[in-house]
Amino acid sequence: MRQLELKKPNDVKRLREIQLFLLDWFDKKATENGYEYWLDFGTLLGAARNGRFIPWDDDIDISMDPISYSHFLSNCKSDDLVFIQTSINEKNYNENYIKLRFRKSLFIEHGQLPGVYAEQGIYLDIFPSYYYPNLPKALVKLLIFFTYKTELAGRKKSLIGYLMKMLYQCTNIFWYIAKKMPKKYFGQTPLDNWYRSLTSLDCLFPLGEIEFEGRMYPSPRDYGQHLEALYGKNYLTPLSEDKRYTHAQAIMIDD
């Protein structure tokens, strides 16, 4: 395998080609099966700024309607080039979302070692969206915060850890009941919504389109309000260099 040097334009171009291959692979599956999805997070942010990748971003983010996500997980299969990585088919993978991996590559994140996963290639993240109940936004954000804090504390092998685990189970009961309530917001699932961002469902549906790297892809109807909820009112202004974050410590491809 050859290591990409992301200060070299041709190596950046090759990385982008693979990332867009993954996005178009997924887009074809979504179109064929009627799955609802949209560009999200850093990918949507780059599209909103200038229709391109954020220069230092090294992955692609999309979100899916919960039902579409479940159907994709159940029905779509990996192939010779793309591996659908989940906590079901990868014993060391503990995330609550899917990664599409390009098989003929190696993407080593900061803090990882080669071989931590059976498939560790360049990836695209697919996040399941969650529709939150019509309750005061401050209360919903507090419950989200309580959910992931009690889950984290409940991992400790102690009395406090046991109590936190019980409280976490209580939050799961609440979210189960909340599925029956009228919906008002969307965001990541309660366990993964570290931003505690909530955007009105009116800003999501009906889905719109946005240009990204020369093609049109689905986006939230009012993606500006969604990005403001995620990143603040100045979301169109790039971060200063000291605040820019990348995932990879090394990327290799099999040309």
pLDDT for 124 beyond 80 = yes
Q: What is the pTM for the complete model shown?
A: 0.93
pLDDT tens for residues 127-151? 999 999 999 999 999 999 999 999 9
Mean pLDDT of the chain, nearest integer = 94
pLDDT for 28 beyond 90 = yes
Give the sign of the dihedral formed by CA 198, CA 203, CA 207, CA 212.
negative
pLDDT for 6 equals 80
**Angle made by CA atoms 206, 43, 67, in degrees to the nearest 5:** 45
- 194 or 217: which carries more pLDDT confidence? 217
- 162 or 245: which carries more pLDDT confidence? 162
Task: Kindly list the domain boundaries of the chain, sorted by start residue.
Answer: 2-129+187-253, 137-178
pLDDT tens for residues 188-207? 999 888 888 999 999 999 99
**For residues 170 and 133, what is the distance between their CA atoms, to the nearest angstrom?**
17
114 Cβ contact partners less than 8 Å away, ≥ 6 residues apart: 106, 108, 120
pLDDT for 245 equals 85
pLDDT for 255 beyond 80 = no
Least confident of 66-70, 101-105, 229-233, 245-249: 245-249
**For residues 199 and 238, what is the distance between their CA atoms, to the nearest angstrom?**
22
pLDDT tens for residues 174-190? 999 998 999 999 999 99
pLDDT for 166 beyond 90 = yes
CATH of 2-129+187-253, one of 3.90.1310, 3.30.1490, 3.40.50, 3.30.460: 3.30.460
pLDDT band with cut points at 50, 70 and 90 for residue 9: confident
